Amino acid sequence: MTDGSRGAPAEEQFDDDAGNRVPGGHARGVLTYITRSLATEPESVVIEADESPRGIRFRIHVAPQDMGRMIGRRGRIAQAIRTLVRTAGSRDGVDTNVDFVDD
């Protein structure tokens, strides 16, 4: 039996409910990709994650000159990042919160 979209045997398809995944892994991956893509110094991006029963709180530390790029005019980019991370987190069934920390 094959999956018509990829031609791979159905037995080889990955199960999203495998139980061996990191909580909020999709959200963390999306957040890492977006913040490092926006930053002029991607190596200075640090993401801290705190898990609680209510969800995962991500705290983003970036170089001082990149903070404005992460926030955007009137906070529009920051809000867009929060929306994308929340959507990715819902795939894992977790609530997310993203804070930008000014060092």
What's the domain range around 94? 24-101
Residue 88 lies in a domain: yes
Residues 6+ apart with CB under 8 A from 42: 36
In whole angstroms, give the CA distance from residue 24 to residue 28: 6
Residue 14 lies in a domain: no
pLDDT tens figures, 12-36: 444 455 554 677 889 999 999 999 9
**Higher confidence at residue 53 or residue 35?**
35
pLDDT tens figures, 82-96: 999 999 999 888 999
Residue 18 lies in a domain: no
Residue 5 lies in a domain: no
Model confidence pTM above 0.85? no
Report the domain count for the chain.
1
Residue 77 lies in a domain: yes
CATH number of the domain where residue 33 is located: 3.30.300.20
